[in-house]
A and B are shown apart, each in its own frame.
Chain A
């Protein structure tokens, strides 16, 4: 049942020839390039998202990518426009709806949840209207590495570089505002503006990740590496770097596995990322159990 079909390539333990064979296909080279860009960008933005406990907003942005991509398909324009357009627009909407001074979590999450379901429903409508998508909505939802063009890689790289540059620029005040918003506001940090800018960055990063893992599985590259890294170390810089490395590893190993197996790319990326998360938790537990020194405190787990 779990066997690959005869047509799919066979993995040998000679890694050199494996890579040579894999990279002899231009689409695989593009997939690896796109995967690397996306992993770095989404892990860096995702790290801040986990710190700011905005995973729900991040999830909403990721579902907004689905109607974006399906509408673009319906209209016959490049899906890339759909991804970025819808995600950034959704980020602005969330930022607008979040009114100052009343963080009634209950109502905000009801709004977010409704918007999210409605976005998915719209995506489904567009796909039903289009009818021509061979595999149905699944490849948009669960990711596919086939058919990533060089043009797409360029767009991913440009947007990714832009996101990272802005993030580097606002990184320090954002960290301050995320860890202690009240004190940061008191010190004159523009907390509200930062929150809006960050949501836009989150939208762009989500749009990037959605093109690799599928819109439903972006958490595998955004949340899981960051959560793993924050388990392993308390130092912000180090855990940010670690998150990027974990995301990159999950993405590339996922691509390699998906090349040899008929199952969707999203499954492998999530499985590798989640495996790392579980290992980090186990390692932490063992470390605590042995009582060798005090375990590093995860910054995100204060609540």
Chain B
């Protein structure tokens, strides 16, 4: 019980709740728009951004958010209509990740005060290492991401489901696509602090995938995705607090994967099921 009252656990719980909320909301649209690969690319940009900031002697989070939001906008800019192409992303992010490895080596070999575990903690998260001010900032950014997403949710849904009709009706499809990618970027930066840049994809994809399997109604699925994400975050954190050998990011990912896997058992695929995803 003592772990649960420790400040580090309470910080993690608070930050984790809001980060999961943002990830659940953003993830739903990411899955619906079939842009999971973008989230993946951003997770690599997050690592490089954070490492570049460390190597240059700045705050890690500065590079993290600059990297992810900038990366999101860039990906939106180079691709057709804000939907980037797989091979271009793949090539760019392989290089960017290589660059991240380079910055990591620069950081660990050149700075005397370098923490050896900096690379690992960015890659796999260090949610139990957040202090009060970091927690506050993480919560504020997560709330801002959620608010912005809820504001654009209706037109974004329209633009996602039927881009051509939405464009004809005067919905600014391209601006929405770019704005959404910027939100994905901010959310990726947030999630990196929770589960690490390599695992943020799971936090984005798993609750959203489960929600889409469970209901056809878009807004119910959106809510469900956010709810599941928060629940999985809580269970993961508790699990990790009770069993100290489990790293928190593993516990969170394992819970999220288990929930997603369970939706396949609960509801074996109805043949020809025309969910919103196919509409």
- A174 to B134 CA separation, bound complex (whole angstroms): 52
From B140-148, B180-188, B249-257, the one touching the partner chain is: B249-257
| Contact B91–A113 (Cβ < 8 Å) | no
Q: Which interface residue of B101, B102, B199 has the most chain A CB atoms within 10 A?
A: B101
Chain A 110-167 residues near chain B, CB threshold 8 A: 110-118, 120-122, 124-125, 128-129, 136-138, 141-142
| Contact B85–A303 (Cβ < 8 Å) | yes
From A83-91, A180-188, A199-207, A220-228, the one touching the partner chain is: A220-228
Chain A residues within 8 Å of B40, by CB: 56, 59, 113, 116
| Contact A111–B277 (Cβ < 8 Å) | no
Kindly state the interface size class of chain A when it binds its partner.
Answer: 35 or more
B164 to nearest A CB, angstroms?
17
| Contact A136–B106 (Cβ < 8 Å) | no
Report if A104 contacts B (CB, 8 A). Answer: yes
Chain A 279-303 residues near chain B, CB threshold 8 A: 300, 303
Chain B residues within 8 Å of A125, by CB: 246-247, 250
Residue in A closest to B257 when the chains form the complex, CB atoms: A118
Chain A residues within 8 Å of B205, by CB: 109-110, 113-114, 117
Residue-wise, chain A 21-61 has the 8 Å CB interface mask toward B (1 for contact) of 00000000000000000000000000000100101100100
Cβ-defined partner of B87 (8 Å) among A137, A214, A227, A263: A227
| Contact B34–A114 (Cβ < 8 Å) | no
- A232 to B55 CA separation, bound complex (whole angstroms): 37
Report if B174 contacts A (CB, 8 A). Answer: no
Q: Is the interface of A mostly helix, strand, loop or mixed?
A: helix
A217-B98, A266-B98 known; A223+B91 contact, CB < 8 A: yes
Chain B residues within 8 Å of A5, by CB: 109
Cβ-defined partner of A113 (8 Å) among B90, B120, B202, B213: B202
Report if A2 contacts B (CB, 8 A). Answer: yes
Chain A 60-76 residues near chain B, CB threshold 8 A: 63
- A263 to B269 CA separation, bound complex (whole angstroms): 48
A117-B253, A125-B250 known; A220+B116 contact, CB < 8 A: no
| Contact A55–B95 (Cβ < 8 Å) | no
| Contact B109–A262 (Cβ < 8 Å) | yes
B24 to nearest A CB, angstroms?
13
Residue-wise, chain A 72-107 has the 8 Å CB interface mask toward B (1 for contact) of 000000000000000000000000000100101111
| Contact A138–B98 (Cβ < 8 Å) | no
Residue-wise, chain B 178-220 has the 8 Å CB interface mask toward A (1 for contact) of 0000000000000000011011111111101100110000000
The 6 closest A-B pairs by CB, nearest first: A117-B202, A270-B98, A110-B209, A113-B205, A274-B95, A219-B94
5 inter-chain pairs at a CB distance below 8 angstroms, sorted by A residue, are: A106-B32, A110-B205, A110-B208, A138-B101, A264-B98
B positions within 8 Å CB-CB of A = 31-34, 36-37, 39-40, 44, 85-88, 90-95, 97-99, 101-102, 104-106, 109-110, 116-117, 119-120, 123-124, 195-196, 198-206, 208-209, 212-213, 245-247, 249-250, 253-254, 256-257, 260, 269, 272, 275, 277-278
